[in-house]
């Protein structure tokens, strides 16, 4: 089976890319890292006007009722631009969670999803674990903060800020507030929110990897050593080729995962895509830093925005090891591997 985007998807992706090509996005990212979220919010409003925030929200809740693949197209471009804000949480994770919960209780979806689709409400979510505090990105600037703890979903109270690898991903401790739902249905909804968030995050990583490859390819044509552009050296060509192959192999896994979100293979396919995208983007980041040299380390150089973003996103929605474990568990459940891990 061939996984490729339609002309309509390509046109939509081009329109989102054009939205970010004004040259103001890096400045907006830096402003978001500090005390001025206004430029970033302007970009988010433009995304909402383009329909990117309400793509997978059902029409009954004010959205477009589009498919997950349409959302991936948008998030690849969001990642390519390193756009600021809790976009995965607002447009993917929280809508998936609330719509899954709406099967038994539509009130939360009716309350919050229309605002997300219109771009008047931003959301973030913290997934509480067995150890350590639960943290959410940009919780102090989100209109809706959710917290999950086991099979309990509640609103969240924003606590202290904690250090982040990416200054534009501002992390805050979240504590439990009012209970929204609990029990088996809440657990099912929470799982949907995590899976769709992980898929959108993987799309962001793919887009960031593509941006790093493009920047590296242009730079090696200009930087010279021994009187020649370094892009003429075979070792440099090979590194860039390896990055291209990694990104090219990850992309169809993302599309497959988007097409199987409604099947029993959802967890397996999303985690496989998450691993491939994370590994490919990380390889793109390492190679970009190597070919740029010392300038790649400087915070003033725009490349640093993508380097820190990839480093942070690589584990933001589950580490590669966690997702590899989910793939292995899914394969064992279907009998594709035996308990020792060997293929059957």
- Residue 109 pLDDT: 97
Give the chain's end-to-end CA distance (angstroms, integer): 23
- Residue 10 pLDDT: 93
- Domains contained in the chain, CATH given: 194-334 (1.20.140.10)
Give SS3 for 334.
coil
pTM of the entire predicted model: 0.94
- Angle, CA of 63, 174 and 105, to the nearest 5°: 40
- Residue 320 pLDDT: 94
The two tokens of residue 29 are 């990212």
- Residue 309 pLDDT: 97
- Residue 231 pLDDT: 86
**DSSP string covering 158-208:** EEEEE--SSTTS-EEEEEEEEEEEESHHHHHHHHHHHHHHHHHHHHHHHHH
- Residue 47 pLDDT: 94
pLDDT by position in tens, the chain (length 344): 566 788 999 999 999 999 998 778 999 999 999 999 999 999 999 999 999 999 999 999 999 999 999 999 999 999 999 999 999 999 999 999 999 999 999 999 999 999 999 999 999 999 987 667 899 999 999 999 999 999 999 999 999 999 999 999 999 999 999 999 999 999 999 999 999 999 999 999 999 999 999 999 999 998 888 888 888 899 999 999 999 999 999 999 999 999 999 999 999 999 999 999 999 999 999 999 999 988 887 889 999 999 999 999 999 999 999 999 999 999 988 876 666 555 55
Q: Which residue has tokens 């830093």? A: 289
Helices (H), the chain: 7-20, 25-33, 38-49, 68-81, 87-88, 94-101, 107-118, 184-222, 234-259, 266-292, 303-313, 320-333
For the stretch 142-157, what's the b/e string if a residue is b when 16 or more beta carbons lie within 10 angstroms of its beta carbon? bebbbbbbeebbbebe
- Residue 131 pLDDT: 67
pLDDT tens string 88-120? 999 999 999 999 999 999 999 999 999 999 999
CA distance 119 to 40: 13
- Residue 295 pLDDT: 85
- Residue 221 pLDDT: 92
């Amino acid at each position: 089976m061939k996984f490729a985007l339609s002309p309509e998807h390509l046109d939509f992706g081009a329109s989102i890319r054009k939205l970010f090509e004004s040259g103001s996005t890096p400045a907006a990212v830096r402003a978001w890292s500090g005390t001025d979220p206004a430029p970033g919010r302007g970009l988010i409003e433009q995304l909402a006007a383009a329909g990117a925030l309400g793509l997978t929200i059902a029409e009954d809740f004010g959205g477009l009722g589009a498919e997950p693949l349409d959302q991936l197209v948008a998030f690849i471009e969001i990642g390519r631009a390193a756009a600021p804000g809790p976009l995965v949480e607002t447009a993917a994770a929280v809508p998936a969670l609330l719509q899954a919960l709406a099967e038994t209780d539509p009130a939360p979806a009716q309350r919050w999803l229309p605002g997300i689709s219109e771009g008047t409400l931003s959301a973030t979510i913290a997934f509480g674990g067995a150890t350590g505090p639960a943290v959410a990105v940009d919780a102090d600037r989100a209109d809706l903060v959710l917290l999950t703890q086991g099979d309990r979903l509640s609103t969240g109270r924003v606590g202290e800020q904690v250090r982040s690898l990416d200054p534009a991903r501002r992390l805050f401790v979240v504590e439990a507030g009012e209970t929204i739902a609990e029990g088996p249905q809440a657990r099912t909804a929470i799982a949907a929110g995590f899976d769709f968030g992980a898929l959108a995050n993987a799309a962001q990583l793919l887009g960031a990897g593509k941006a790093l490859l493009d920047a590296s390819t242009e730079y090696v044509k200009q930087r010279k050593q021994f009187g020649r552009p370094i892009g003429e050296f075979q070792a440099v060509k090979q590194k860039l080729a390896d990055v291209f192959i990694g990104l090219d192999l990850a992309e169809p896994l993302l599309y497959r995962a988007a097409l199987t979100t409604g099947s029993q293979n959802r967890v397996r396919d999303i985690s496989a895509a998450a691993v491939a995208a994370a590994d490919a983007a990380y390889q793109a980041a390492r190679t970009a830093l190597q070919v740029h040299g010392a300038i790649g380390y400087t915070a003033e150089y725009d490349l640093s925005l993508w380097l820190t973003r990839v480093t942070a996103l690589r584990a933001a929605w589950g580490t590669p090891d966690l997702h590899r474990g989910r793939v292995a568990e899914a394969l064992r459940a279907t009998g594709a591997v035996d308990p020792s891990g060997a293929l059957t």
